[in-house]
Amino acid sequence: MYGVKEANYIPDNFYLGGFPALTEAGIIKEGATVRKHAPVALDADGLAEATVETLNRLVGITADEPDDNGNVVYYQTGTFRGEAVALPEGVALDALKTACRPLSIFLK
């Protein structure tokens, strides 16, 4: 017999709009852990969650968690709710806002 699947949807109110969002896809470097809505930086081995030391290599904020193959979509531009961003350890929201501005990522 067929059953009805029930689920609850809880919106995270991450995307605020107001500025066009441009996305790109990339591959997470081997061994790196990247969370949903986390800022990511790029180096020669691939993408990794940004740290205090790598904010100068910031390329965007992830749209979701990476898939099983390490592929992830990240926002290169857009306006987002700052409180919904997965902040890297030791990085204050104000410092991240400053690092995101040159990318046309605005955290409100």
Model confidence pLDDT, tens digit, residues 75-100:
999 999 999 999 999 999 999 999 99
* pLDDT, tens digit (0-9, with 9 covering 90-100), for 62-73: 999 999 999 999
Residue 17 reports pLDDT greater than 90: no
* Six-digit token string for 92: 């204050």
Q: How confident is the model at residue 10 (pLDDT cuts 50, 70, 90)?
A: confident
pLDDT at 23: 96
How far is 28 from 48, CA to CA, in rounded Å?
6
Q: Is 25 helix (H, G, I), strand (E, B) or coil?
A: strand
22-107 domain in CATH 3.20.20.370? no
Collect all residues with Cβ–Cβ distance below 8 Å to 82 and sequence separation of at least 6. 93, 96, 97, 107, 108
Q: What is the pTM of this model?
A: 0.86
Q: Which residue has the tokens 């500025």?
A: 19
For 74-96, letters b (16+ CB in 10 Å) and e give bbebbbbeeeebebbeebeeeeb
pLDDT at 4: 87
Instruction: Determine phi and psi for 90, rounding to 5 degrees.
Output: 85, 0
